[in-house]
Amino acid sequence: MPAHMYQMHQPHSLDHFASVARNTVRALPDAFREPARAVALCVADWPSQEMLHNLEISDPLDLTGLYEGTPMTVKSVWDQPAQPDTVWLFREPILAEWRARKPVQLDELIAHVTIHEFAHHFGWSDADIARIDRWWE
């Protein structure tokens, strides 16, 4: 079997992460699903140095996901976005978090990070999310 075909079936591959994230978005309630589909979903091994610098994060393992864009609660029809809103998932930091949190299932963690980042798109702050989600404690 060619290496790229084998990669698609690996539970730790970028393709697997993207598939879990897409399925998570598809499972959102109707009111959230359609607006979420307008957001680009990207999976990378690591956050870029620019992302880390902009967020003042020194350890790339501290960033499992990122929402880049303007939350729906502050968007205006007059806004002219320079780029599409994007949710990023970072494979290596998520894998590190998963290894530290066993027995949490990897797909559950990927879905959780996906939901967390899309919550930012819908206008929730980290403090808002923390009030209802004790996952990271």
The Cα diameter of the chain in Å comes to 51
Mean pLDDT for the stretch of residues 56-85: 84
Per the listing, tokens 């929402």 go with 67
**CATH architecture for residues 13-71+82-132:** 2-Layer Sandwich (3.30)
Nearest to 45 by CA among 84, 95, 4: 95
Mean pLDDT for the stretch of residues 46-71: 95
Q: Which residues, 6 or more positions from 22, have their beta carbon under 8 angstroms from its beta carbon?
A: 41
In this predicted structure, the answer to whether residue 7 has a pLDDT above a threshold of 80 is no
* Per-residue model confidence (pLDDT) at position 21: 96
In this predicted structure, the answer to whether residue 3 has a pLDDT above a threshold of 60 is no
Q: How confident is the model at residue 2 (pLDDT cuts 50, 70, 90)?
A: very low
